[in-house]
Chains A and B, each alone.
Chain A
């Protein structure tokens, strides 16, 4: 479904990704783990179209989307949950969910999808009319996930869902991600919390200073000595 081929990205003089290859098959849940500053967020942003690559290719369903503007990628069914949540603080919860489906003009489907989000996160339903900035970090994370769901995405890109959340909330988020994947949404998460990320994933990649250094099934990665020492703390 998603093919990232030989991707080079740099900010000015500084190259951040040095030829990254990643592939995600239909229905998979893939985790990219790695330390802070490895280029995980850059990778996700480039796939979403928010950062321009220097060279390399991004294929989605066989279509070359390397130079497609971000809003058109959203229209193709790519949903994005940004790092640090970034909900629209001055919009209400319901408006945040509505803007998530901006590309679609199907009002009935939007209503159905918003109801589905409220079903997944009942807390959001209670706060429909509230401004997003007045909510707790955990609630904002729910909203950021919900916002990415209202366009019925086929591929979900999730950046550091666990960042700055209480452990119980982290578990909730990973459970939701796992359930969404079971419902048929293909998911790519980048995550510092390797332990959680590898528990739910089918396969994983290890990204270090802009290079993929290791890839395997999530189970094998969890058993890998290097990964255990560096990321799982055992």
Chain B
């Protein structure tokens, strides 16, 4: 039972991290809060769903959704965020309002195109449970944790071990000097969007599989919980986002299992956020350590 709870916490926590990672990467390099990441999560879940029910290929569903939603991110950066940020004396609330608008649009677009009802992936692994000694673990949770972990490791490798990642980290720290070093900072920003929106799309599909239902409202809870996670992780720090995601995952699963919560489960993230910020106002990794 406890092992299953740990796996559940890890799966939920890493899913949260994956969902919030896009917002973190974008904040890290552009300094804006892109709530529209939750829209990428929603649209990713739907694109993945349609690819899956028409081809029966889950791998194809992941690849197709991540790629297409990642491209949408690049287009949004070029057509919406880029031009807004290029304006002189831009107020930081403007891109935030644009992001909220884009997110609202994405929910309504899905509602119009796909209907307001619930859809189900009805995906079943050949094996329902894995037995380790006396404990049984549901395969879905285990695989989701594994897949999320793989994606996060890929991200870590891209950011820390590749030339593109080095350019990303340099741009996040000082875009002007990075440009003077020969870095095309627009490409570094595009990388944030491809990875960020792509990861959000993957998280959307996994959530759809995990709970076996997707609705046009799928992005609502992530849209604000994501904020709690990226602030908790110290704004713009990918490692902090992973730790914060896991912390929230564990807090939700453990508290709702072992205590009678006087608040809705989705509020736990904010209680944890408030407690951490009272102790350390810059968030868990506010020093912006090496990612």
Contact = CB atoms under 8 A, between A and B. Distances in A.
On whether the two chains bind one another, the answer is yes
Interface of A: 12, 48-50, 69-71, 74-75, 80, 82, 86, 88-91, 95, 98-104, 131, 147, 151
Contacts of B177: 80, 82, 86, 88
B166 A95 contact: yes
B167 A99 contact: yes
Nearest to B174: A86
A94 B267 CA distance: 44
A103 B182 contact: yes
Nearest to A131: B290
A99 B180 contact: no
A90 B290 contact: yes
A91 B179 contact: no
B183 A90 contact: no
A88 B180 contact: no
A80 B173 CA distance: 17
6 contacts: A69-B179, A70-B179, A71-B180, A74-B182, A88-B178, A102-B182
Contacts of B290: 90-91, 131
A98 B166 contact: yes
Interface string B120-132: 0000000000000
Given A88-B177, A131-B290, A71 B184 contact: yes
Contact of A75 (B88, B167, B182): B182
Nearest to B173: A88
B173 A99 contact: no
Given A12-B88, A131-B290, A80 B167 contact: no
**Which 4 A-B pairs have CB atoms at the shortest separation, nearest pair first?**
A103-B182, A74-B182, A70-B179, A102-B182
Contacts of A12: 88
The binding surface of chain B is classed by DSSP as: helix
A99 B181 contact: yes
Nearest to B185: A71
Contact of A71 (B163, B174, B183): B183
B173 A82 contact: no
A91 B172 CA distance: 11
B176 interface: yes
Given A86-B177, A91-B290, 14 more contacts: A12-B88, A69-B179, A71-B179, A71-B183, A75-B182, A82-B180, A88-B169, A88-B174, A88-B178, A91-B166, A95-B166, A99-B167, A99-B178, A151-B182
A99 B173 CA distance: 13
A86 B91 CA distance: 26
B119 interface: no
Given A82-B177, A86-B177, A91 B170 contact: yes
Interface in B149-185: 163, 166-167, 169-170, 173-174, 176-185
Contacts of B173: 88-91
The binding surface of chain A is classed by DSSP as: loop
A55 B291 CA distance: 41
B289 interface: yes
B80 to A, nearest CB: 21
A74 B174 contact: no
Given A90-B173, A91-B173, A80 B166 contact: no
Given A12-B88, A91-B173, A102 B180 contact: no
Contacts of A48: 180
A145 to B, nearest CB: 13
A60 to B, nearest CB: 14
A37 to B, nearest CB: 20
Nearest to B287: A90
B77 to A, nearest CB: 17
A80 B170 CA distance: 15
Contacts of B289: 90
Contact of A80 (B88, B180, B183, B185): B180
A44 to B, nearest CB: 10
A120 B290 CA distance: 27
Interface string B195-224: 000000000000000000000000000000
B182 A147 contact: no
Given A86-B174, A131-B290, A50 B180 contact: yes
A59 B262 CA distance: 70
A88 B174 CA distance: 7
A102 B167 contact: yes
A12 B289 CA distance: 35
A50 B179 contact: yes
A74 B181 CA distance: 6
